[in-house]
Amino acid sequence: MAAEELTLQSHIQHHLTNAKMCNTENGIAFNKACSEAGFWTWHIDTLAWSIGLGILFLIIFRSAAKKAHTGVPGKFQCFIEMIVEFVSDNVRDTFHGKSKLIAPLALTIFVWVFLMNLMDLVPVDFLPALAGWIGETFFGVPSHDVYMKVVPTTDINMTAALAIGVFLLMIGYGIRMKGMVGFIKELTLHPFNSSNTVVQIILIPFNLLLETIALVAKPFSLALRLFGNLYAGELIFILIGAIGLMQLPLHFVWAVFHILVIVLQAFVFMMLTIVYLSMASSESH
């Protein structure tokens, strides 16, 4: 690795850079060649790890479902049943509508986000160094030109994609439960209203502005909260990793504390999703 790449700043920058793939005039390009590729740049490490962890979630829960029986459950079945019951209880207490989608959606969000967050506990240099060795050994790419971010939720593109999915469900549930007319009325006739028709018409632009801001703020809060907490945690792991072999005791201490953050952020994302969908499906207006 070049001398300038041994600085703390370059070390941090390397760990916080995604592996990119894009399509240019000269064909498919990777990493630094994608710096001016624009919007259509794929973060292939985020995609690979998030999809892989999603498949792992499906395999684990499918295996538990196939092995489930009415007798005394084993430890694995007990553990999976505890997670399912935990999510089911929260959905039952929080979601006040009727939908067969919400519980499976909440379970998927909680476990998938948890698994993606859990990658933060892998020693920060291990997988990037392994990727660099593979790139240099088998493909002739210098190790410092190989990037690998293994925590998908430290990529704002991933958390924003999750939040946009929830946002579309909110709109869908709002229209489904209230109808298009009812959904439009909710955006235009609240929070300010009047029995005077002329005054109500005057208030419509103000209501629309406030309700639109409140609606759009929800996916922003989902995306930025998850991203910010995991990005900050990853940055601390990177700073600890920069001190060399002496990182292990500090890594362990921070990892023990960070376990709480990993679980809590998955739980918060799940609960806010349930709350937002419950609000969207409410017929109180």
Q: Tens of pLDDT along 147-192? A: 999 999 999 999 999 999 999 999 998 898 888 998 898 888 888 8
Answer whether residue 5 is part of any domain: no
Answer whether residue 266 is part of any domain: yes
Catalytic residue among 18, 50, 229, 281: 229
Answer whether residue 213 is part of any domain: yes
Residue span of the structural domain in which 98 resides: 16-281
Answer whether residue 7 is part of any domain: no
Answer whether residue 100 is part of any domain: yes
Q: Is residue 90 among the annotated active site residues? A: no
Catalytic residue among 225, 278, 282, 284: 225
Q: How many domains does the chain have?
A: 1
Q: Is residue 229 among the annotated active site residues? A: yes
Per-residue model confidence as pLDDT tens for the chain (285 residues): 444 445 778 888 888 899 999 887 778 888 888 877 777 889 999 999 999 999 999 999 999 888 877 777 788 889 999 999 999 999 999 998 788 899 999 999 999 999 999 999 988 888 998 999 998 888 888 888 899 999 999 999 999 999 999 999 999 988 988 889 988 988 888 888 888 888 888 989 999 999 999 999 999 999 999 999 999 999 999 888 877 767 778 888 888 889 999 999 999 999 999 999 998 887 654
End-to-end, the C-alpha distance of the chain in Å comes to 63
Q: Tens of pLDDT along 251-270? A: 888 888 899 999 999 999 99
Catalytic residue among 221, 278, 281, 282: 221
Answer whether residue 94 is part of any domain: yes
Predicted pLDDT of residue 2: 43
Q: What is the pTM of this model?
A: 0.90
Answer whether residue 60 is part of any domain: yes
Answer whether residue 6 is part of any domain: no
